[in-house]
Structure 1
């Protein structure tokens, strides 16, 4: 919660810092895509706050209104980061391919995790039946692995974004570059915390399963 609060605070701060180039997030996204030889990805606006993402299925860079229309350091950082994912897709970045291949399995695992863990714990306590709890722990292990695979994908997208922002002169000054870097750093921290939280939860249930089976 603290990291989420800090990220939102940073985003708000850099949203109020004008970009000297005067480009909007949508214009920056289009520029980055074209300069990387990508012409089959559409940049669109989606409702919500911090709903920005790249969809490899329909090849769209989806930007929240604040980023799509924004002409700030934060808008530039987020737009370039999402386009970083599009560049990963276009260049067959291995970690992104691995992550995308896991999506169908993770979707199933995410749907059954809560149910299997909740019912599985009850069955293990009262009936010494461990199968459902084992399935729950296995499903949780899949989603935890997915969280960690997401980290190099996000870090690489930010690295590509910052490098391009500098070489394209979208961020003209050191202040703008440092602001974009700081915003993306805190965005990445939310993924790190999510992965660590998933790992702690997995270890908790795995230990519970091991302890119950030893009884």
Structure 2
């Protein structure tokens, strides 16, 4: 199973690099003033209004890079700097989160699927770690004869992996919608458009790395079953 540790190390290293680049990019673009001088809040409200969305509120939340769209409460939640600043970073993030609100309005299939998975994942996550640890203990104490609980734990964990990969097209699509709207409404010039695009690209990369990390964990857990099976032949 040594190969797994190499996979984890590589993904951890890449994740650290991507996270660092994202924060540096965000801080850099958070210092570049927009020509139109609109804050993240104003951009969000305009994008929602332009797309006929009037039942979603734009709120400010504490923290950095804590922005998200809540489909249940119908709120676009922007971190303090995104909410109030008039920068490239702020408008890119604000428009991206409104992209999710637009997906919600249009009934974007992948978003509907992910939302349907949320209660299932919230329930399964309460038992995943315990089931996995208990399953491993039973599996090895029985010398591989009893693998039911280990397989159950792997099954529960696989839901989280599926969820992380379903998230990818949703994030990319939200960024695509945001960039199209910014361009079509002439809210950004050529340079600002490319800067916003670059900012959102690195934000999306964090989801890619996270998905790959969860997949590597799943492969690791499944390797217990494979290695034990190989020992028996």
Query: Normalised by the size of structure 1, how large is the TM-score?
Result: 0.96
List, as ranges, runs of 4+ consecutive aligned residues in structure 1 with deviation greater than 6 Å: none
1:201 aligns with 2:232: no
1:148 equivalent in structure 2: 165
1:72 aligns with 2:87: yes
Uncovered stretches (5+) of structure 2, i.e. residues with no partner: 1-15
2:204 equivalent in structure 1: 188
1:124–1:212 contact (8 Å) kept in structure 2 = no
1:94 equivalent in structure 2: 109
2:181 equivalent in structure 1: 164
> Number of paired residues?
214
Counterparts of 1:14 and 1:92, CA distance in 2: 32
Q: CA deviation at 1:160?
A: 0.2
Counterparts of 1:109 and 1:159, CA distance in 2: 32
Q: CA deviation at 1:72?
A: 0.3
Query: Which secondary structure does the structure 1 equivalent of 2:77 belong to?
Result: strand
Uncovered stretches (5+) of structure 1, i.e. residues with no partner: none
1:22 equivalent in structure 2: 37
Q: CA deviation at 1:162?
A: 0.4
Q: CA deviation at 1:213?
A: 4.6
Q: Work out which of the two has the higher radius of gyration on C-alpha atoms and give 1 or 2.
A: 2
1:57 aligns with 2:72: yes
Of the three residues 98, 120, 123, the one matched with 1:83 is 98
Q: Which moved more, 1:128-137 or 1:189-198?
A: 128-137
